Amino acid sequence: MAAASPTRAGPGEMDPERLPDEMSEVTVLSFDAISIDETKLLGKGAFSSVYEGTLTTASAGPIPVAIKKMRIPAAVSKDHKYLQTELRVLSGLTHRNLVKYFGLAKDDTHAFIVTELMRGGDLRAVLEGAIASGDPEAAFPTGLRLKVAQDIAAGIDYMHNNEIVHRDIKTENVLMDEDWRPVLADYGFARKVSAKKNMTIVGTDEFMAPEVIWGEAYDERADVFSFGVVMAELFSWKRAGEDGFMTRTPRGKFRLDRDQVSSAIREGTPDAPERLAELILECLAYEPDDRVESADALATLGEVLEEWSETHGGAEAGAGHSRRPSSVARERKAGDASAEAAAAASTPEASPEAEEEG
């Protein structure tokens, strides 16, 4: 495999609201520099599939990466705009809590977005694995969850400081490395913040801010609401929209039951400082003007983590925790397999006589 160093095809300002028709302002990689292992599917979406692979560079040699494979869309299509947006955001932002971007490779029919490989899986899988383990606190302890929340807030705040709104923050779009470092991923819906015009309704319903649902103008405070939902899931061990948790309806004007959220957080994480539940509710305020800013959420999480540490003998978040997020996430698959086996065992097989009678 030929080694290739990335080259910059053009300068240009990062402005996802004005996207070029050609892929000319992103880091371009030689197609020969990447190798995809299509037996190792990491994820599949409406527009693309993500595989494990390798990138060969002149400086570092072959390194493991994640490669998003998608058919090159027509220049006038929405899929093309989605691809352009993700590339521009990926190439323009650098932060330890945003997925690292290496570049774009192309062949005649497909585009390949190359990013760092996050072996820990996504936060939703880790949460469900912790629950399936039977002892979620042992699998994913409070201090570690507080640190993960703080890191996610740091990534969001960095985007907002660069006048970018993510617009699809959810647990599935938070990826973990094996050291429990979270990164925000999937920037296809990201946009420059614009106070002068409405943006389209995008995102995932359970994480969507009220003003987005109503089709009103919105800004980075919509991300803060989505982050509030992420934290509510992280500290309640519940999933928004399931079993009546955080359910919103048109009749209720898409308002949350704040008492339900507060109780679920306190029951799910009883050793967390009281300020945590208060912060989550501040993020989930119905009116954007009543929500905290990402910088304030980040600062408050630092204070909450410090208070938690003081009440636990000065312990560091995650100290002594030997499990890796990938092993926790695998508990979910093991639990699913056990449930399927139990269901199969409890289903009586049809007797030959019954089949003959049928």
Residues acting as catalytic residues? 168
Distance CA 160, CA 194 (A): 12
Q: Are the CB atoms for 264 and 238 separated by under 8 Å?
A: yes
Reported as type and span, the H/E element at residue 31 is none
Can you tell me the distance from the alpha carbon of 48 to that of 79, in angstroms, rounded to the nearest whole number? 10
What does residue 130 show for φ and ψ, rounded to 5 degrees?
Answer: -60, -40
- Beta partners for 68? 50, 113
Q: Cα–Cα distances in Å, from 224 out to 44, 209, 287, 291?
A: 26, 9, 12, 7
Apex CA 229: angle with CA 157 and CA 277, to 5°? 90
Strand arrangement, sheet containing 7-8: 7-8, 27-28, 101-106, 110-116, 61-71, 49-57, 34-44
| Token couple for 28 | 């371009």
Rounded distance between C-alpha atoms, residue 229 and residue 223, angstroms: 10
68 is annotated as contributing to ligand binding: no
Closest-CA residue to 188 (of 208, 153, 164): 164
Task: Please name the amino acid found at residue 347.
Answer: T
- With CA atoms as reference, report the closest residue to 264 among 249, 244, 290, 288: 244
Question: From the annotation, which residues make up the binding site for ATP?
Answer: 69
Question: From the annotation, which residues make up the binding site?
Answer: 69
